[in-house]
């Protein structure tokens, strides 16, 4: 659902010039990698902001435009932004204190004359102060010098190949606190395509929040059946209690702050909140989004091997998968 819609066809046509170079944070992660691809497909230059330039060059290739940026080191912000006119802002999951990190980067970007910021938020962040994204959204909304757009995706289909991959590969199960509820999984390839469309026509999306879900919803039982059929191994769904899930994440070695945020993000699943299909993605892309089944069938090899113990798959490990 759009928070604000264009008031007239004339306003809809007034897209403004495209951004010319976008600094992409989280560039080696699930979403960032796809944003780099989607920008390249639209002919918009992108600079990957990464913690390790060496690793980024190994993943993205020696020709890639790569710059060092660490949210925990504000001295890296201004040099990373130099020469860019737009920013794709992503909150790394392990980062919960956004004031000295993401919001500080926003301040540096605004002061440096960045034209447009797209923030990858999460569905419901406007209403839930427990989510770190809430404070970033408010911070962006409070400044008026730079255009901004909020993307609020629902549950990623990529969680199956990332956060849940170890459970699926090692234990043959999906273990989440969802009960019998459904989820309108969204594919980050589609989220990235929306981001690229915003950077191509920033004025048309300025001051808007786009809620992005997939076109169909599925129960986790249906997800397990889809994986079983696609992988040829038995995958079962076991609904977790909230304390059981907390313990499970802690045993997986996640830091306490991340355990808390991930549990809050999963809390809405059981109530059915994540089942709601929103038409915005289909409208913005001009086609239906990819479904959970599309994601699984495009990425079957992901579940053929387990990630290293204690780790989720390395960000960017989807590089060779189907697009």
Name the minimum Å distance from CB 153 to ligand NAP.
4
CB of 99 to ligand NAP, least distance (A): 14
SS3 175: strand
* Shortest Cβ 149–ligand NAP spacing (Å): 15
Q: Let me know: does 88 contact 97? Beta carbons within 8 Å.
A: no
CA–CA separation, 148 and 3 (whole Å): 13
Cβ proximity to ligand NAP: between 71 and 148 the closer is 71
Cβ burial 42-80 (10 Å sphere, 16+ → b, else e): eebebbbbbbeeeebeebbeeebbbbebebeeeebbeeb
Count how many Cα atoms sit within 13 Å of the Cα of residue 260 in the half-sphere of its side chain.
Answer: 9
CB of 101 to ligand NAP, least distance (A): 7
Q: How many residues does the chain have?
A: 323
* Nearer to ligand NAP (CB atom), residue 177 or residue 315: 315
Cβ proximity to ligand NAP, 122 vs 240, nearer residue: 122
Minimal distance, residue 97 CB to ligand NAP, in Å:
11
Q: Strand pairing of 218-219 and 182-183? A: antiparallel
25 vs 146, beta carbon nearer ligand NAP: 25
70: its two tokens: 């660490």
Closest CB 255 distance from ligand NAP, rounded Å: 11
Q: How far apart are the first and last CA of the chain?
A: 26
The footprint of ligand NAP (CB under 6 A) covers 26, 28-32, 50-52, 69-72, 90-95, 120, 122, 153, 155-156, 159, 315
Query: What does the alpha-carbon distance between residue 174 and residue 168 come to, in Å, rounded to a whole number?
Result: 6
Contact 41, 69 (CB under 8 A): no
Nearest residue relative to ligand NAP (C-beta) = 29
Nearer to ligand NAP, 30 or 146 (CB): 30
CB nearer to ligand NAP: give 50 or 84: 50
């Amino acid at each position: 659902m759009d928070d604000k819609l264009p008031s007239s066809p004339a306003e809809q046509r007034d897209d403004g010039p495209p951004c010319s170079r976008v600094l992409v944070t989280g560039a080696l992660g699930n979403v960032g990698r796809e944003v780099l691809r989607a920008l390249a497909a639209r002919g918009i230059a992108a600079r990957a902001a990464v913690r390790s330039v060496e690793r980024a060059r190994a993943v993205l290739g020696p020709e890639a435009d790569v710059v060092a940026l660490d949210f925990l080191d504000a001295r890296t912000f201004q040099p990373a932004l130099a020469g860019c006119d737009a920013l794709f802002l992503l909150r790394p999951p392990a980062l919960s204190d956004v004031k000295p990190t993401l919001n500080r980067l926003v301040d540096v970007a605004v002061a440096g004359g960045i034209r447009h910021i797209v923030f990858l938020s999460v569905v419901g962040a406007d209403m839930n102060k427990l989510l770190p994204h809430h404070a970033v959204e408010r911070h962006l909304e409070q400044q008026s010098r730079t255009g901004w757009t909020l993307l609020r995706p629902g549950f990623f289909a990529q969680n199956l190949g990332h956060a849940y991959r170890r459970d699926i590969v090692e234990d043959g199960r999906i273990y989440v606190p969802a009960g019998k509820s459904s989820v309108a999984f969204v594919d980050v390839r589609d989220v990235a395509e929306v981001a690229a469309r915003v950077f191509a026509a920033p004025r048309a999306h300025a001051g808007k929040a786009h809620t992005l879900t997939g076109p169909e919803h599925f129960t986790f039982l249906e997800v397990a059946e889809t994986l079983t059929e696609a992988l040829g191994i038995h995958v079962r769904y076991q609904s977790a209690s909230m304390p059981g899930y907390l313990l499970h994440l802690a045993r997986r070695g996640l830091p306490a702050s991340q355990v808390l945020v991930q549990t809050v993000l999963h809390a809405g699943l059981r109530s059915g909140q994540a089942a709601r299909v929103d038409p915005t993605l289909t409208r913005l892309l001009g086609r239906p989004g990819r479904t959970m089944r599309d994601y699984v069938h495009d990425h079957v090899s992901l579940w053929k091997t387990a990630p290293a113990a204690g780790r989720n798959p390395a960000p960017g490990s989807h590089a060779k998968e189907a697009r």
